[in-house]
Amino acid sequence: MKTLITGATGFIGSAVLRKLVSAGHEVRALVRPQSDRRNLQGLPVEMVHGDLRDCSSLEKAVKGCSVLFHVAADYRFWVPRPDELYEVNVTGSRNIVLAAADAGVEKIVYTSSVAVLGSNKDESPADEETPVTLADMIGHYKRSKFLAEAETRELVKSRGLPVVIVNPSTVVGPRDIKPTPSGRMIIDAASGRMPAYVDTGLNFVHVEDVAEGHLLALERGRVGERYILGGANLTLKEALSEIAEIAGRKPPRIRLPHNLVLAVAAIAEAWSRVSGKEPWVNLTSVRLARKKMYFSTEKAQLELGYRPRPIREAFRDAIDWYRQHGYIDGA
């Protein structure tokens, strides 16, 4: 079975790629010429050059494939040009899904995010059916992913495309080479650079569990349905304390009010517009932190057989990898 995967050089994509290889798939990876390919070293994968914004390159990439895993996304909470997020996440997703459909691909697993899902006012875990609208999306990343998933779901209805959607939560673990926003949080906490926290909460999951969930979605997922691939619901204080304990650091003790951090983020972003450098804290992240983003994986467990591991293993594996590769201070 020849399988095309996008985003294979990235954090989640490289984990999915490894699972596909282990499962016996003949894998082709769509990569941009300038992509960092460290996550592909030593893997038996056919690489083809292309870009989600270049339809002709996608037609060539998907030719002869029976399965598509569309994992690629622009995952940034702050960008100098927000249009870039929509070009990749919305237009790019539509391009690759339509190219796969035109090529006769039998099944498509589309990687969305819990960022597009609703949340409950009582802070109980949300699920795939929790009500949400575009107006609830904070920041360009969430808006772009919401619109991308909405377009994909519409294509399933209007053209009968064989798409199954997965929604990973806050993913942590090894091979986060960029690193992602969640990876930077772990690095800072394990390096002793996060003595304070805000009152928020997230659902954390091991990248290997998310990768396994992708393959389960291919095998058992129902077309047109979406499945949350998450793990443990933790307050930020609980997560940072767990990370600090594993790393041998002191846990954070200072709780910062959201309004104070919001003011700092506004100053940081103003400076970024002058310097051109990414702010160390951004307004979108702080605004998102006003809500606890807890999620239920009950549907994925019941329908896919999804079983996430204890979250401490994810934090430990991430810290071990960051230490081995020189990301953590004092390692």
Residue range 268-312, pLDDT digits in tens: 778 777 777 887 787 778 787 788 999 999 999 999 999 999 999
CA dihedral 182, 32, 15, 220 (to 10 degrees): 110
What per-residue confidence (pLDDT) applies to 330?
62
Rounded to the nearest 5°, which phi and psi values hold at 60? -70, -40
Mean pLDDT value across the chain? 94
Round to whole Å and give the CA distance between 161 and 58. 17
The string of pLDDT tens digits covering residues 63-102 is 999 999 999 999 988 888 999 999 999 999 999 999 999 9
E-only strand ranges, the chain: 2-6, 26-31, 46-49, 67-70, 107-111, 163-168, 170-172, 196-197, 201-206, 226-229, 232-235, 254-255
In this structure, which amino acid lies at residue 214?
Answer: H
Q: At which residue do the structure tokens 């990973």 appear?
A: 168
Q: Which of 152, 157, 170, 130 is nearest to 289 (CA)?
A: 170
Mean pLDDT lowest among 6-10, 73-77, 82-86, 146-150: 73-77
pLDDT confidence tier of residue 36, bands split at 50, 70 and 90: very high
Residue 48 has pLDDT above 90, yes or no: yes
Round to whole Å and give the CA distance between 193 and 176. 19
Q: Which of 4, 6, 9, 44 is nearest to 176 (CA)?
A: 9
For range 161-182, the mean pLDDT: 96
Round to whole Å and give the CA distance between 215 and 16. 8
Q: What is the pTM of this model?
A: 0.94
Round to whole Å and give the CA distance between 203 and 293. 7
For range 226-238, the mean pLDDT: 97
For range 246-267, the mean pLDDT: 87
Instruction: Return the higher-pLDDT residue of 264 and 252.
Output: 252
What per-residue confidence (pLDDT) applies to 247?
96
What per-residue confidence (pLDDT) applies to 56?
97
Instruction: Return the higher-pLDDT residue of 251 and 279.
Output: 251
pLDDT confidence tier of residue 161, bands split at 50, 70 and 90: very high
Residue 216 has pLDDT above 90, yes or no: yes
**Are 131 and 120 contacting, i.e. CB atoms less than 8 angstroms apart?**
no
What per-residue confidence (pLDDT) applies to 139?
93
Round to whole Å and give the CA distance between 83 and 143. 11
Round to whole Å and give the CA distance between 331 and 320. 10
Sign of CA dihedral 153, 154, 156, 157: positive
For range 42-47, the mean pLDDT: 96
What per-residue confidence (pLDDT) applies to 331?
47
